[in-house]
Structure 1
Amino acid sequence: MGAGQNPPGLDPQRLRAYLDRERPGLVAGELTGELIEGGRSNLTYAVTDGTRRWVVRRPPLGHVLATAHDMAREHRVISALHPTSVPVPEPVLLCEDEEVLGAPFYVMQFVEGTPYRTAKELSALGPQRTRAVVLELVDTLAALHSVDPAEVGLADFGRPEGFLERQLRRWGKQLEASRSRELAGIDELHAELGARLPSSPAPAVVHGDYRLDNVLVDSDDRIRAILDWEMSTLGDPLTDLGLLVMYSDRPAGDDSPVANTGAAPGHPAVQELIERYAERSGRDVSGINWYTAFACFKLAVILEGIHLRYTKGQTVGSGFDRIGALVPGLVERGLDTVRKG
């Protein structure tokens, strides 16, 4: 960001005036900020006064559905989890006054660490370190799911009753909104998932998008923070495990537009990840195939929506031309997995 230029959606001067008013003494000098790339939908900025650093999260620019990008929910869940053993950034404050930056936002402490997105990035650690990081990813998920929502003030953070039915219905609607071509097997996959709906275990705080590139790993290979809580709620914890299994078993490809760390040397096999979670959480994971198949369905729908926007010329950046080609394989894998029961 050149001198005097503000990143879109962030006015450091207005932010500093607000912080000086709400947290006197927090900021010691002029603020500068830059957009951190890689966020899915909500915008993330690194902000500094030259001495200390913070992170600002706000909804995307332009019109958004309030429920889809609820800053108060993200701030609430990290505030509730910060005193627990679950690693999250320390929250600073929530601002729901849209006059300050043009949208609600929250501020949290900056956490040093690396989000590993590709097998190539993870391979740089070597097999032993890679194995240790991925096993800690599983242990950290079990720690999240061991938090009693009521004890941390999150008893009303979601509606666990009927969670899976609602999720399946929601993603089915999303599929209808994303259709632009014939996709063999995707309706069949949706129907099979509905026909084999499992009974959920006791509800937990669910992250909703748990994978290696949504955590920060420090130079000692420890997970310092889980990021991107925009999908979090109270629900079936095995949905998080199914998503992690699905991402951990994706084929390699140096230029894959979707996270694919599972091909890195030393990455544990998915069966070991499942067994590790079962051991750490005490949960029955015998129905994990349904959850993994559901994760395949969700990612297929998400990618199909991106493919539709790409064909309409509504995407910015590179890699979108390859997204559509990934969908049939996900559908096929989802069908194979759900039929294993």
Structure 2
Amino acid sequence: MSDQEVRDVALGHDDPPGVDLARVAAYLADAAPGLVGGPLRAEVIAGGKSNLTYLVSDGTGEWVLRRPPLGHVLATAHDMAREHRVITALGPTGVPVPRTYALCEDLGVIGAPFYLMEKVEGTPYRTASQVEPLGRDRTRAICERMVDTLAVLHAVDPADVALSDFGRPAGFLQRQVRRWKRQLDASYSRDLTGAEELHRRLRLSVPESPAPAIVHGDFRLDNLLVDGSGDVVAVLDWEMATLGDPLTDLALLLVYQRLATFGIDHTLPDVSTAPGYLADGEILDRYSVASGRNLSDMGFYLGLAYFKLAVILEGIHCRHTRGQTVGAGFDTVGAAVEPLIKAGLDALKEHR
């Protein structure tokens, strides 16, 4: 593609926040020749509260572009290269992921790393109102496939997909406890009741991990795309993926399910309240059978999941107060943080 053609591709459309279409078009002309064939336009896809996701189109084809959030980000978060790497590596496996096209680590293009991937047709079910029309049986089947997909992911041998060096499984849980405390300290903007106590109890009760696996880090139904037949066709949002303890994924899934009953924030997912959605025990039983893993220490994992989610939401709250978020729905996120911390303390007392 010539320089004039590159300019023509980017002409005539306003750039959304965080993306320079002319520079993206010029980069793709070299990185993915022939992919883009017409004027580019892009829009922010609603729903993301961390990395920014855009739908990019040339009028014929459509792709998804991912970049870090605007403003300051924590050093270990929002790593586009890692996210791109794990999605690309899982492409040949039974884990459904989008095809990747290009990774750009040159900050001179749009001011931050980004990557481009396939747009997969499917629905990220987030609310009960979305799935209720499907009926109880269909909702249950979708939820079962969600749990099965998680078990499939955790069954992938990292060595088979060249991800042996993607993380450090030894001491994973101890580092998770330390990491989320550091993340909280880095996002500190107010006192949070119970935060120090929850961190202390987690630090003193770390169990022995099972065999390591590829961990998604944010696995839930609205990070999956489901097609018209109810099959999971793509797992999205891999920004927190690593190698580690697979039960952290399972616990976070349960915490998201429980969060819908808190009555804290209408913008948080409530799909788990829909008739037919699997209860906690059903999810644990199905995962246990599919994976063969011991789930006797779920109290700790739930406590850690509550802590992790509280820290993530506190980081979003902090960025919102500094005017560094894009889109709506951020003004009430901060109200969920202390109830999550309390739930984490309660979860440490639980035993399956």
Q: What is the TM-score normalised by the length of structure 2?
A: 0.89
How many angstroms apart in 2 are the aligned matches of 1:216 and 1:316? Answer: 23
Decide which of 99, 119, 130 is 1:121's aligned counterpart. Answer: 130
> Structure 1 pair 30/158, CA: closer, same or farther in 2 (3 Å)?
same
How many angstroms apart in 1 are the aligned matches of 2:111 and 2:193? Answer: 43
2:304 match? 294
Give the conservation status (yes or no) of the 8 Å contact 1:250–1:262: no
Q: Which amino acid aligns with 1:280?
A: A
Give the conservation status (yes or no) of the 8 Å contact 2:306–2:340: yes
How many angstroms apart in 2 are the aligned matches of 1:21 and 1:306? Answer: 35
How many angstroms apart in 1 are the aligned matches of 2:198 and 2:258? Answer: 19
Give the conservation status (yes or no) of the 8 Å contact 1:118–1:254: no
Give the conservation status (yes or no) of the 8 Å contact 1:44–1:55: yes
1:145-184 to structure 2, matched below 5 A, reads: 145-184=154-193
Q: Deviations over 1:75-134 (max 9, x none)?
A: 110110001010000011212222332322111111111112222323232211111111
> Structure 1 pair 303/263, CA: closer, same or farther in 2 (3 Å)?
same
Q: Which amino acid aligns with 2:256?
A: Y
The Cα shift of 1:154 comes to 0.1
Give the conservation status (yes or no) of the 8 Å contact 2:265–2:335: no
How many angstroms apart in 2 are the aligned matches of 1:315 and 1:15? Answer: 22
Q: Which amino acid aligns with 2:281?
A: Q
1:245-260 to structure 2, matched below 5 A, reads: 245-252=254-261, 253=263, 256-260=266-270
SS of alignment partner, residue 77 of structure 1: helix
The Cα shift of 1:53 comes to 1.2
> Structure 1 pair 34/313, CA: closer, same or farther in 2 (3 Å)?
closer
Give the conservation status (yes or no) of the 8 Å contact 2:100–2:118: yes
1:283 match? 293
How many angstroms apart in 2 are the aligned matches of 1:30 and 1:115? Answer: 28
> Structure 1 pair 222/148, CA: closer, same or farther in 2 (3 Å)?
same
1:1-341 to structure 2, matched below 5 A, reads: 4-65=13-74, 67-252=76-261, 253=263, 256-308=266-318, 318-341=328-351
The Cα shift of 1:74 comes to 0.8
> Structure 1 pair 65/246, CA: closer, same or farther in 2 (3 Å)?
closer
The Cα shift of 1:60 comes to 2.4
The worse-fitting range, judged by mean Cα deviation, of 70-79 and 25-34 is 25-34
The Cα shift of 1:204 comes to 0.6
> Structure 1 pair 135/62, CA: closer, same or farther in 2 (3 Å)?
same
Give the conservation status (yes or no) of the 8 Å contact 1:207–1:233: yes
The Cα shift of 1:36 comes to 1.1
Give the conservation status (yes or no) of the 8 Å contact 2:24–2:109: yes
**5+ unaligned residues in a row in structure 1: which ranges?**
none
The worse-fitting range, judged by mean Cα deviation, of 182-191 and 82-91 is 182-191
The worse-fitting range, judged by mean Cα deviation, of 214-223 and 302-311 is 302-311
> Structure 1 pair 131/90, CA: closer, same or farther in 2 (3 Å)?
same
Q: Deviations over 1:151-190 (max 9, x none)?
A: 1000000011111111101112233344555544332222
How many angstroms apart in 1 are the aligned matches of 2:135 and 2:128? Answer: 11
The Cα shift of 1:65 comes to 4.7
The worse-fitting range, judged by mean Cα deviation, of 260-269 and 329-338 is 329-338
The Cα shift of 1:262 comes to 1.4
The Cα shift of 1:294 comes to 1.0
The Cα shift of 1:237 comes to 0.5
> Structure 1 pair 67/196, CA: closer, same or farther in 2 (3 Å)?
closer
What is the aligned residue count?
340
How many angstroms apart in 2 are the aligned matches of 1:65 and 1:250? Answer: 25
> Structure 1 pair 74/316, CA: closer, same or farther in 2 (3 Å)?
closer
The worse-fitting range, judged by mean Cα deviation, of 323-332 and 81-90 is 323-332
Give the conservation status (yes or no) of the 8 Å contact 1:120–1:254: no
The Cα shift of 1:321 comes to 4.4
How many angstroms apart in 1 are the aligned matches of 2:317 and 2:48? Answer: 18
SS of alignment partner, residue 28 of structure 2: helix
> Structure 1 pair 304/11, CA: closer, same or farther in 2 (3 Å)?
closer
> Structure 1 pair 16/314, CA: closer, same or farther in 2 (3 Å)?
closer
Identity %: 59
